Structure 1
């Protein structure tokens, strides 16, 4: 995989929310063969009926042929099998003496069953088309907000994956970006409270402000202030419109990679999960202040969280995630132990610290822990300075705080 490529662009397993039409589930060389299922059933019913005693009549089971076609095939294919079922019924019923015929009642059953199956298939296909259309809109919206990041953008190797929740079809408010500029490269990851277009709108507003402020402002604290102000302005605007999401807020973590120091990063936390530094020395949690989410700064007297400077080795990767990872639960209700899991993974293979491998591991581990059922949208984002290579020697498997 190319450095910086989003995993959701590469691996279909990272997009488990995609719904395939049912008639595409069984394919041979790219062609649908779902029609074979009702066809085989129809042939079996006809053969069994013609080769059993007259008292045992199963030809009326032809009504199930159209029903199965309605569940697997398209509308016209279902209509075709409904017609074939009636023809087969008439032919098989006429092959027996009068005393063994199914009669008009069974014929009406097959006829009405075929009509109802065709109607049900039409409703199903229309619903699938609508669902695909809505998911395409959500995907387009997400890609518009989360712009593609070129490989090595801002002097950073990076990888990211977004997983939509199973429980909610609406797009969420997770966001992330990298912005290089004359004062160094800045990274932002956050999660807007709530879901739907309102959350996407707030995420887009914050990303727009970040891209401008991160480029022009020399001080990371000023960038943080611009983000907090933008969230307040956005809330005031939605309130003035009479919308009920005027109290929306966003957790976020803002990171700066200074140009004058390759061995440190600056971090501002707005109530978000702390980043993890993952490298050959193990896993450590970056120290953070007690910042409140964007939009709630007035609860702390209007003050901004501090800008903390911390060392970061060249081979260390910063892992940033949203609460879809940290709050992922297994069927027993236990949270996914992210840091401990990474310690074990690094002990097995030091190359897990590479951004692409790290994101892929966390994605698979989160899905495995939850049994593939995510309760919240999940974003996993990993960055480190370009050119760093993980040491493949022994790893000190420990969690540092």
Structure 2
């Protein structure tokens, strides 16, 4: 039994468990007993006792090192006990004894290698999870006066982190929202996402103009590319698409939007689903190709309407026939059948599940689904204020 407070190791976490207790020892034990019983009930001309070498092999696949060693010893003891109970002319003798003993030793060694690999893999997962939480920080409920929900699905299920990024930053000039997708994959893309998010969190708080925030992001992207090129770390063209949204305090019925070559967000409300204008901006890092900055669009966003932002992992998800995921149609159908689907958490779950079903669970790119809306007042508080209670 593991000591109180001890962190479970790789073997503990990977074992078969029922009700929190390990049952990994059950299959090899059943196999051990079955082989012994069958051998006892077979004729002397045909014996299966040498198959007992399978027992430590099975244990090596599902048990820990000490469990496998125990089954290796039990296999040898059972072999000797059963074999010596037969008349001398039917005993398998020394050759099979060596086979069972050597098989047990090799199984224990193989188990040690497996457990070591699992520990290394779990350590790397912990590192990746820490990196992911550092880049995509957890957002408190109601952060910046917004109801929000997000889902992030990495195309690499082992890595669990990629180049998609999002954040909410409240400040004196209102709350700003950013969602983006770095071109490329791997640690280089994660590095870019971290750099852009760091710049966003500072500029979105301090800068009164959303256009200035956009300019700061573009400058940071160019500086990062320049640094990577000088350091010999640039593995090709690097840019990032994105959408920058500003929720101002002086106008609760509109939002400011700057689009950096990204799919335009959807607005989901009681009246249906509509797409925001695409804008004319190029991705971050490509400002040298155009004479001026991307325009700031002021678009209506009524009370209770939810803004849905996704990366191309959603819009480019394909089914078995190569058809793209029909995001607007699926959201429209869901809203028609259930007006409550407008709530950010339910909306994100709807799009996430629909994307996974459409693609059969095989994502070709990192996928981020992010839904935000102005926080709705508590109906209970409103009614109490109206009655003067």
Q: TM-score, normalised by structure 1?
A: 0.87
Q: How does 1:193-272 map to 2 (within 5 A)?
A: 193-245=183-235, 247-272=237-262
Q: Does 1:352 align with 2:325?
A: no
Give the match for residue 120 of structure 1. 110
Question: In the alignment, is residue 315 of structure 1 matched against residue 304 of structure 2?
Answer: yes
Q: Is the 8 A contact 2:269 2:306 kept in 1?
A: yes
Structure 2 counterpart of 1:100, from 90, 101, 111: 90
Unaligned runs of 5+ in 2: 1-9, 379-389
SS in 1 for 2:363: coil
Q: Does 1:136 align with 2:126?
A: yes
Alignment of 1:2-401 (within 5 A): 24-166=14-156, 169=159, 171-245=161-235, 247-301=237-291, 303-387=292-376
TM-score (ref. length: structure 2): 0.90
In the other structure, the counterpart of 1:11 is none
Tell me the distance in 1 between the aligned counterparts of 2:57 and 2:63: 10
Q: Who wins on radius of gyration, i.e. which is larger?
A: 2
Q: Shift of residue 189 of structure 1?
A: 0.5
Q: What value does the CA root-mean-square deviation take over the aligned residues? A: 2.0
* Distance of 2:160 and 2:131 partners within structure 1: 11
- Following TM superposition, by how much is the alpha carbon of 1:167 offset from its aligned partner in structure 2, in angstroms? 5.8
Structure 1 stretches lacking a partner, 5+ long = 1-19, 390-401
Greater RCO structure (CA 8 Å; 6+ sep): 1
Which segment is superposed worse, 364-373 or 280-289? 364-373
Cα deviations by residue, 1:269-325 (Å, 9 ceiling, x for unpaired): 111121111222222111121321100121224x22211111112121111112222
Q: In the alignment, is the contact (CA less than 8 A) between 2:125 and 2:158 conserved in 1?
A: no
For residue 17 of structure 1, what is the aligned residue in structure 2? Answer: none
Aligned pair count reads 370
Q: Distance in 1 between matches of 2:83 and 2:284?
A: 74
Tell me which residue corresponds to 1:8: none
CA distance in 1 between counterparts of 2:184 and 2:12 reads 31
What whole-Å deviation, never above 9, does each CA across 1:124-166 have from its counterpart, x for those lacking one? Answer: 1111111111111111011112222111111100011222224
Given that 1:23 and 1:73 are in contact with CA atoms closer than 8 Å, whether structure 2 keeps it comes out as no
